[in-house]
Each structure stands twice: as C-alpha cells, then as structure tokens.
Amino acid sequence: MATTASCPPSALPISIATSTAGARLTSAHGSRASHAAARPPLPTMARAALLLPRAPLLRRLLLAGALAASYSYFLLVLQAQASVPPRYDGFAYGGAGSAATLKDAVLVEAFLDPLCSDSRDGWPPLKLAVERYSPRVSLIVHPFPLPYHTYSFMACRALHIANHLNSSSTYPLLELFFKNQGKFSNSATSSVSSTAVTGAISMMAAQAVGNSVSEFQSGFSDSRSDSAARVSFKYGCTRGVAGAPFFFVNGFLQPGAGSPIDYDTWTRILDPLVAQHGQTVEMFPSAM
C-alpha cells in the first residue's frame, strides 16, 4: 500500500511508494527512522527521477511566461516605433541646440522636475559648470514629471508652452518654478482646482514669456503641449530615468542618480573631458 513520507516544513513534499515487503523489513529491523538512517542516500539521478512528474508542468509555465514577456516586448517596440517624436526631446541651454554645436562639445543631459527640490538644488551648480566650460560643454534639459508631485506634469507642459511661444523664456520659467515651488506643492494645492492652478502657473509664466496670461493659459487647452510633455516623460523612461535629477554626460549616467551634483564634482567630471576636447582620440589604437 502506498504511503507518503512526512518531511520537515523547509523541505519539498515528495511522495515515496513503499512495498509491503519493505514495511515488513522495517518492522523486523527496528523503527522506520533507524532503517532510514542505515540506508545510503539516494543517488542524484534517483532523486531527480522522483521529481519527473512535476517537470512538464514547470516547463509549460516557463514557456508561457517567456511567450508573455516576448509579446509584451513586441507591443512596446511597436508603440515606441509609432510614437517617435519629430525632433529630439529637451531644451538646449544657451543656444547650443545646433547639430554642429552638439557634435563638437561635451554633452550634458539633465532630467529635471520643475517641482522637485533636488532638481532645484542641482540646477545652480550645473548651470555654473556649463557656463564655465561653454562652448566646449553643451546642456540639454529634459522635463521629467515625477508622479508624486500632483502638478508636476502641468509644470512640464508649461515649459513646453513657453518654449513654443518664446524659446528664450524656457529657462527663466524653469527658474521661476524652482523659486516658487512652495506655491505648487501638494499641500498648497490640495484644496485648489486644477483650473485655478493652471491659472496661477499662467500668471507666473507670463512674466517670463512676455505674452498675455490668457494666451499662455490657452496652451493648456492645446493637445500639442500635452503630447510634448508625455514624450518627455516617455523618453526619460527609455533612458532608465526613475527620479530627478538624473544626469548623463556624453550618454553615460552619472553616479548618485536622484541627487544633486555639486559644482566641485561637476568640474572633476568635466575637466578631463574638456582637456581632451579638440584632440583626436583613437578609440581602437593599433597594437605596438
């Protein structure tokens, strides 16, 4: 008659069939425990054979998981191909947006949230460093709205609206957001309607842009500003951005992502790169 041997809680339950003769042998030579202790351990192949009935199910589950992952990746690739923006995301600082300028300079990319205190603290030292090394260092800022700042996405939309109305006002508006973060924080806007918040943003932005408040606020009704802010967020996700600020230099993520970088650290990062700037660097030098 088949019996199921008990096992400790940390072990996998394994069904072991024993014959009647085996049971008589156990009773003749003492307890089952002493007989098991005297018996040599099962060979590796024998132990594996006990698990064979479970293997087909495990293989089916793994195959189903692999197919689901492949299908999800295929859908993401299709979506990414369908949503390629007409221009590279971000705002070039100081007129450094031309292809020739970007090609001939060290490129710094910053992913900043206008309502993030760490982005605010990381902006002044970055700005100083870029201005120190300009034109050998170029900067592009990508707005990246963090989901736990209620009106961060609206703030990023405002940057795109400002860039559309007057491209020279984008960075002044970004600095106004940094200066007035308290007005648009979660606690300050918890009992305020979204219409009132966009109105307050428009009033502040009009100072930097030079347009009327109503003209700026109409940008929030334009689907293009919504689409541009979504593209900025999605682009950050494709680069592995998971917070703010995130900094890349010539495409490489800098340590301490999610935290500000001080001015001295920026000079240590950029000094050796700028020193090599203009020199012909052999990526694959020939063997000596």
The predicted pLDDT at position 94 comes to 84
Are the CB atoms for 186 and 215 separated by under 8 Å?
no
Q: State pLDDT tens for residues 128-145.
A: 999 999 999 999 999 999
Distance between CA atoms of residues 141 and 126, nearest Å: 11
- Rounded mean pLDDT for each run of 10 residues along the chain, 288 residues in total: 42 43 42 46 50 62 74 53 79 70 85 98 98 95 97 98 96 98 96 96 94 94 96 95 97 95 97 79 44
Distance between CA atoms of residues 170 and 114, nearest Å: 12
The predicted pLDDT at position 27 comes to 43
The predicted pLDDT at position 228 comes to 96
Q: State pLDDT tens for residues 105-119.
A: 999 999 999 999 999
The predicted pLDDT at position 142 comes to 98
Are the CB atoms for 219 and 84 separated by under 8 Å?
no
Whole-model pTM: value is 0.69
The predicted pLDDT at position 24 comes to 41
Kindly report the average pLDDT of the chain as a whole number. 80
Q: Which of 153, 205, 161 is nearest to 179 (CA)?
A: 205
Residue position matching structure tokens 């979506």: 79
Q: Residue 249 pairs with which residues in a beta bridge?
A: 108, 252
The predicted pLDDT at position 54 comes to 55
Where residue 51 falls (left for φ over 0; alpha for ψ -120 to 50; beta otherwise) is alpha
- Strand-strand pairing, 91-92 and 106-112: unpaired
Distance between CA atoms of residues 101 and 277, nearest Å: 13
